[in-house]
Amino acid sequence: MLIWYYFSLPKVLFNAPLSTVITANNGELLGAKIATDGQWRFPARDTVPEKFKKCIVLFEDEYFDKHFGFNPIAIAKAFQTNWKVGRVKRGGSTITQQVIRLSRQGNSRSYIEKAKEILLATRLEFRYSKAKILSLYASYAPFGGNVVGLDMASWRYFHKQADALTWAESATLAVLPNAPSLIFPGKNRKRLLAKRNFLLKKLYTKKLIDSTTYQLALAEVVPEKPYPLPQLAPHLLEKINTNYRGTQLKTTIDLGLQKQVNTLVKRHYLQLKQNKVYNMAVLVLDVHTRKVLAYVGNAPTDAKHQKDVDIIDKPRSTGSVLKPILYAALLDNGELLSNTLVPDIPVQFGTYQPKNYDKMYSGATPASLALSRSLNIPAVLLLRRFGLDRFYHYLNACKLKDIKYGANHYGLSVILGGAESNLWDLCKTYAAFSSTINHYNETNGKYYANEFCEPTFFADKTIDYGKETTDKTLLDAGSLWLTYEALTQVNRPLEDMNWKYFDSSQRIAWKTGTSFGNRDAWAIGTTKDYVVGVWAGNADGEGRPGLVGVRSAAPVLFDVFKTLHQSQWFEQPFDAMQEIAVCSKSGYKASEYCDKTAKQWIPLVGTRTKKCPYHQLIHLNNSGTFRVNSSCESVANMQQKSWFVLPPLMAYYYKKKHIDYKVMPPFRLDCSTGEHNTMDFVYPKANARVFLAKDFDGKLQPLVMELSVSQTESTVFWYLDEHYLGSTTTIHTMQITPKPGKHYITVVDTFGNELKQSLIVEE
């Protein structure tokens, strides 16, 4: 009998499915998902709030702390009362017995079942402490409708945590399990009020509350209707529910920030909705802890526009948000300095012809400006120079999971959005870069081996950054700091355009991105402490006019940063940098011919970059009007001068925007020179496909060809398929109306230089 008694109680009392519950980092409820059986049943709590404990014990089982599972006097009184009236009017069950009854749901109410409950209740008293038994009761007692347990009831009826309940609220919930099918908020309010007040008077009589508390409690009203549960991070709840169904987890979410970001997303969504843009996602990370502070997986749209889709981890075209990685990699490898001039000219690679967003060309632009202005052509040319496979290695090292095909699959378009990634991975990457600078300064020149770790939204998880090492994880701190310096110069949205003029404005390194066809708008920014990422667009991939990063995503980004604590700017990692003289005009390491230099901080490997190739030492006559040499002028009558000279095609566009750019003077006619004129086509480029437009009369419009030459005084002779077209001087343009098909254009100048290229004409 003892053996049977020992094993009579199941090891697990309750097998009912539970709700998935997530709380903020302060324990406040973020959201919950109903259990699979349709009941709101929170996971069991470990302790019971003191007020509710006193209320429930006094109301249900006044001798709870003294009996051993059952109360024979209460049972006898109940039996006597029920016998007199001929029906069950009074129950004599203890809280321990009620726990057993709740665990044996489905069994009929009979005296035999009552005897079993008494026996099992005594066994339960052997297994658990009184506090544990009370917590089981509070966790599984019915509170009306499909509400089970104290935690759910306190949120459902009072919209607060159980620990924050008042005496009146605790008394209200204490009387509900006594008759959950009859008395619950919204019905029989008078009976509920009477029962609550009866319990409050009992608390006062037993001197558990004073008279003031009693009077104030009586003045409180009972709830009229259930409150909806908070759903502040529904997409995060779904993500957690996938792997942690039926558990209660404390997250890293900052409740106040989450509410503010939700409000901001709703406000901007209502604006974007006017342009038929229905989806948005925002992620906020703490750089130091790599914890998620705010998680908004989608805008408050409707089911028709995929409101339940969590955009944060979905692959989308990256637009230009990968450009800073290339820029930092070039700095890190000593192949570029911050302000090195890079080409910004029309280019074509086979059938691929990248263009800048504004369809304009500057000829040559400082690399940092090309990054801050997000110019496409310099980025493609730099990627081609750096090497596609090398850059692909960096993307893999950043652990961008959605870039899963080989480098050749993406080609050069990878830098302009030809690949896909997701908001989670991109924010993780920027957080790793920011943390690299922070850790380098904090540890006096050390790096952490595991900088590119996964962020977490679990409050009890601590990130392991790996061992300290003097070797960089991927990019050195100096290159990243210079990259961020360039990203602070990105033009902000209109409302923040004048941020530099306000002392209260904080510096933010940020980058926008817009995918082909205006399908995705990105904005990712970072300070020393936070990373904020924003995506806007349509989940179904529909593009919309005006859906660009700076207009659609950037305003949200800066509004979010305004809600965060203001951060100091990154400390400069001096140990990873050195100061050298650079050419003021070209941004290259200064050569002996640079006429104007400036001091500039560069990464340590930056000394490997070549010296300025654009400054030449030329010889002029005394008046400076012609170039001369020893064949036509004595050395005594020559003057030497440094001259800034760009290649012809770069110079053609550069001088349009730089009125101070001076073309080299021509050689004096009596001077013999071995220098040759150089030429390059402005339009069309080699192997270009040209479509001839028709006017309103159906007549084909001519194709205007344009050539850039270094010697303005030269004459150029034009040929189409070996047929002479004519000659040009000074302005080298030629109109032709060729037939459809492949053609060859040949140009020859007076110096004998020849340039030939093909084009394909289509109607």
* Domains, in order of start, for the chain: 2-219 (1.10.3810.10), 614-668 (no CATH), 679-762 (2.60.40.10)
Cα separations (Å) of 421 from 321, 408, 428, 515, 549?
Answer: 10, 17, 12, 12, 16
The token pair at 255 is 């409740």
Q: What is the pLDDT of residue 631?
A: 84
Does 630 score more than 80 pLDDT? yes
Query: What is the CA 60 to chain-centroid distance, rounded?
Result: 52
Q: Which of 5-14, 376-385, 588-597 has the lowest mean pLDDT?
A: 5-14
Lowest mean pLDDT among 155-169, 356-370, 438-452, 717-731: 717-731
DSSP 636: G
| pLDDT for 291 beyond 80 | yes
Classify strands 723-729 and 715-720 as parallel, antiparallel or unpaired. antiparallel
Bond before 684 cis per omega within 30 degrees: yes
Q: Which of the given ranges, 494-503, 663-672, 736-745, has the highest pLDDT on average?
A: 736-745
pLDDT at 730: 75
* Residue 356 phi, psi (nearest 5): -70, 160
Q: By C-alpha distance, which of 455, 395, 449, 403 is closest to 431?
A: 455
Residue 537 CB partners (closer than 8 Å, separation 6+): 277, 279, 280, 316, 519, 520, 521, 543, 544, 547, 552
Pairing of strands 679-683, 741-749: unpaired
Q: Which of 5-19, 218-232, 422-436 is predicted with the least confidence, judged by mean pLDDT?
A: 5-19
The residue-averaged pLDDT of 604-620 equals 91
The Cα-based distances of 731 to 439, 714, 716, 734 in angstroms read 57, 10, 10, 9
Identify the burial level of 571 via C-beta atoms within 10 angstroms of its C-beta, where 0-12 means exposed, 13-18 middle and 19 or more buried: middle
User: Regarding beta strands 577-583 and 597-603, do their DSSP bridges make them parallel or antiparallel, or are they unpaired?
Assistant: antiparallel
User: What is the identity of the amino acid at 751?
Assistant: F
Taking the C-alpha atoms of residue 716 and residue 682, their distance in angstroms, rounded to an integer, is 14
CA distance 751 to 713: 11
Taking the C-alpha atoms of residue 555 and residue 270, their distance in angstroms, rounded to an integer, is: 13
DSSP H helical ranges for 663-741: none
CB 42, CB 35: distance < 8 Å:
no
CB atoms < 10 A from the CB of 368, how many? 23
Instruction: Please give the single-letter amino acid code of residue 543.
Output: G
| Contact partners, residue 314, CB within 8 Å, separation at least 6 | 422, 539
pLDDT: which is higher, 503 or 707: 707
Q: Are strands 147-148 and 40-41 parallel, antiparallel or unpaired?
A: parallel
Measured CA to CA, the distance from residue 319 to residue 512 in angstroms comes to 8
Q: What pLDDT sits at residue 80?
A: 64
> What average pLDDT does this structure show over 64-91?
66
pLDDT above 70 for 79: no
What's the mean pLDDT in 571-595? 94
Output the pLDDT for position 740: 86
Nearest CA-CA partner of 732 in 752, 749, 744, 720 = 749
pTM listed for this prediction: 0.84
Cα gap 278→303, rounded to integer Å: 11
Return the exposure string of 396-423: e unless at least 16 CB atoms fall within 10 Å of the residue's CB, then b.
ebbebebbeeebeebbbbbbbbbbbbbb
Confidence band, pLDDT 50/70/90 cuts, at residue 519: very high
Average pLDDT in the 578-590 region?
A: 94
Alpha-carbon distance of 710 to 652, in angstroms, equals 9
Encode 457-490: b = buried (16+ Cβ within 10 Å), e = exposed.
Answer: bebeeebebeeeeeebbbbbbbbbbbbbbbbbeb
- Given this model, what pLDDT does residue 694 score? 72
Q: Which two tokens stand for residue 540?
A: 């179904």
- pLDDT of 312: 96
Per the model's pLDDT, the better-predicted residue between 152 and 115 turns out to be 152
Specify the residue for token string 């009203």.
Answer: 221
What is the spatial distance between Cα 87 and Cα 528, in angstroms, rounded to a whole number?
72
**How far, in Å, CA of 666 to CA of 625, rounded?**
8
